[in-house]
Amino acid sequence: MRYLLLIYSEEPTAPPSQEEIDATMAEWWEFDGAIKAAGVHLAGDALQGSQTATTVRLKEGERVVTDGPFAETREVLGGYYLVDVPDLDSALDWAARCPGAKYGSMEVRPIQEMEA
């Protein structure tokens, strides 16, 4: 069964030091290697910061484009993993191992499977 692991965290207000960046990136690379080696990884990416987000809606057929994410929240979506695992417990295990769980929150959402 497929689950989307959504990675939410607060965006840093001040730029982190090079050592901090190196240490954090090492954790992310380690997790990324592990989830790919386990054969459950379908996709995964980091997103550009929320200041780059653009929201689009159709209002009475008219396209309305606004700057920024759809909701202003303290923790913003920063990336995701799409995994294929047997059940929620395994999905939660991967989410808990992800550095995103330590630096913010992981939201685990099952993918809705359409019956053909």
Of 75 and 87, nearer to another protein (C-beta) is 87
SS3 75: strand
CA distance 52 to 76: 12
Closest distance to another protein from the beta carbon of 60 (Å): 33
Contact 91, 82 (CB under 8 A): no
Closest distance to another protein from the beta carbon of 85 (Å): 9
Of 6 and 108, nearer to another protein (C-beta) is 108
Give the angle subtended at the CA of 70 by the CAs of 109 and 4, to the nearest 5°.
15
Residues that bind another protein (CB under 8 A): 1, 86-89, 92, 108, 110, 112, 115
Tokens standing for residue 70: 């759809």
Cα 37 from chain centroid (whole Å): 19
Closest distance to another protein from the beta carbon of 26 (Å): 26
Of 11 and 87, nearer to another protein (C-beta) is 87
Closest distance to another protein from the beta carbon of 106 (Å): 12
Of 61 and 86, nearer to another protein (C-beta) is 86
Contact 97, 31 (CB under 8 A): yes
